[in-house]
């Protein structure tokens, strides 16, 4: 029994001595988990300290903690802008010296580098460069971005350039997860759909029916969690192509200007072709310029009183002017009862079916003597 205990102690001493010797020589492989826990066999050229996807996920939080930085060593274009781990910053290995200023001042900060998978050497090279600069807590996620995306529930973050390109191709729905008031109405990415995260469950029906249709969520920037929460909720609903524009509206404004958007996504009412009355009232109060408002009453009725920003095209004259109607904003027809406005809606379906964003007010539009108005649902 004594000999057995002595043997155990000697084995432990030998192991510890070997590790210490390796550390002194600077070539000991260190892993966040034991090498046997990794799902691959590390190559000789790999960085000496590796982490797995679970360890990376533990540090992916919004906002990113001050004591950690996740770094994408792939080229900014086309790789990083098309998809990266949420919260990761871009410091490509090929231009590492130019990106050094983005590294944290605290040399004890945990740095996790990654690139394109087990065959990609960029993250390992960048990690060694960081270590030479004196950073003492450097790791490499060798399985990289491909492994990140393999995990159920994970999604990618994208950059402003990617969002703009996809919107130009008109094959994506961009979703603003911020509150409708005051954030969305003050300014948002052109064409973005308003689905506030706090109302996601009740408004998720506004999302595309096809669960493979691309969705990009955004909110108020790198410190904002709303878009990430909504993205996770969409994935739970079965959507399979979900991304987050982490830089959000602040990054969009920095890249493409600070002009407020004048378009809006119109919510349909219960009756075919109708506009949601509550949203219509909100548009009139806060953003009347976001729609093309056409009053189809007779000219004498329009002269007595009318809605701000509306124009008059009597329903009897509409057919002659149908080709002149714009297609850059939603069109909304109004009248006192919904009869003439509804007739105008169906007229456009027959005469100019290419116009998709066309609605009418299915309700009673009543003007008072002092010029104010009231909208009453039809019975």
Measured between alpha carbons, how far is 24 from 18 in angstroms, rounded to an integer? Answer: 10
Quick one: pLDDT at residue 230?
97
Quick one: pLDDT at residue 87?
94
Quick one: pLDDT at residue 266?
65
Quick one: pLDDT at residue 281?
84
3-class secondary structure for 273-339? CEECHHHHHHHHHHCHHHCEEEECCCHHHHHHCCCCCEEECCHHHHHHHHHHCCCCCCEEEECCCCH
Identify the segments of the chain with pLDDT beneath 50: 1-36, 262
Measured between alpha carbons, how far is 217 from 223 in angstroms, rounded to an integer? Answer: 14
Quick one: pLDDT at residue 263?
53
Residue 95, CA distances (Å) to 70, 83, 125, 137, 142 in order: 17, 19, 12, 21, 20
Quick one: pLDDT at residue 267?
64
Which sign does the torsion angle of CA 131, 137, 143, 146 carry? negative
Residues 6+ apart with CB under 8 A from 170: none
Tens-place pLDDT, residues 304-313: 888 877 889 9
Q: Please count the CA atoms within 13 angstroms of the CA of 243 that sit on its side-chain side.
A: 25
With contact defined as beta carbons under 8 Å apart, do 82 and 162 qualify? Answer: yes
Quick one: pLDDT at residue 12?
44
In order, the DSSP letters of 81-114 are: HH-B-TT-EE--GGGHHHHGGGS-S-TTSEEEEE
Quick one: pLDDT at residue 337?
86
With contact defined as beta carbons under 8 Å apart, do 245 and 160 qualify? Answer: yes
């Amino acid at each position: 029994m004594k000999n057995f205990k002595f043997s155990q102690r000697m084995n432990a001493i030998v192991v510890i001595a070997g590790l210490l010797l390796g550390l002194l020589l600077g070539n000991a492989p260190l892993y966040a988990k034991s090498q046997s826990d990794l799902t691959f066999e590390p190559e000789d050229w790999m960085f000496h300290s590796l982490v797995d996807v679970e360890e990376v996920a533990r540090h992916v939080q919004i906002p990113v903690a001050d004591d950690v930085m996740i770094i994408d060593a792939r080229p900014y274009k086309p790789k990083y802008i098309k998809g990266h781990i949420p919260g990761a910053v871009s410091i490509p290995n090929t231009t590492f010296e130019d990106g050094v200023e983005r590294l944290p001042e605290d040399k004890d900060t945990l740095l996790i580098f990654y690139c394109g998978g087990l065959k990609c050497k960029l993250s390992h090279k960048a990690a060694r460069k960081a270590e030479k600069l004196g950073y003492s807590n450097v790791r490499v996620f060798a399985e990289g971005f491909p492994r990140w995306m393999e995990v159920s529930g994970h999604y990618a973050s994208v950059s402003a350039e990617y969002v703009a390109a996809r919107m130009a191709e008109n094959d994506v729905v961009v979703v603003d997860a911020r509150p409708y008031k005051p954030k969305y109405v003050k300014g948002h990415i052109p064409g973005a759909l308003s689905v506030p995260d706090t109302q996601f469950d009740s408004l998720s029906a506004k999302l595309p029916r096809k669960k493979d249709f691309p969705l990009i969520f955004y909110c108020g920037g790198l410190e904002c969690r709303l878009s990430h929460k909504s993205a996770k909720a969409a994935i739970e609903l079965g959507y399979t192509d979900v991304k987050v524009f982490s830089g959000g509206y602040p990054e969009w404004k920095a890249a493409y200007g600070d002009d407020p958007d004048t378009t809006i996504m119109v919510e349909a009412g219960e009756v075919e072709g109708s506009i949601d009355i509550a949203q219509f009232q909100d548009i009139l109060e806060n953003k009347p310029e976001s729609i093309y408002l056409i009053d189809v009453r007779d000219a004498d009725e329009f002269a007595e009183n009318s809605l701000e920003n509306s124009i008059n095209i009597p329903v009897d004259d509409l057919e002659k002017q149908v080709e002149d109607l714009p297609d850059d904003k939603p069109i909304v027809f109004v009248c006192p009862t919904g009869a003439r406005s509804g007739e105008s809606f169906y007229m456009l379906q027959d005469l100019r079916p290419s116009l998709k964003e066309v609605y009418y007010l299915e309700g009673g539009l009543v003007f008072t003597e002092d010029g104010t108005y009231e909208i009453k649902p039809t019975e």
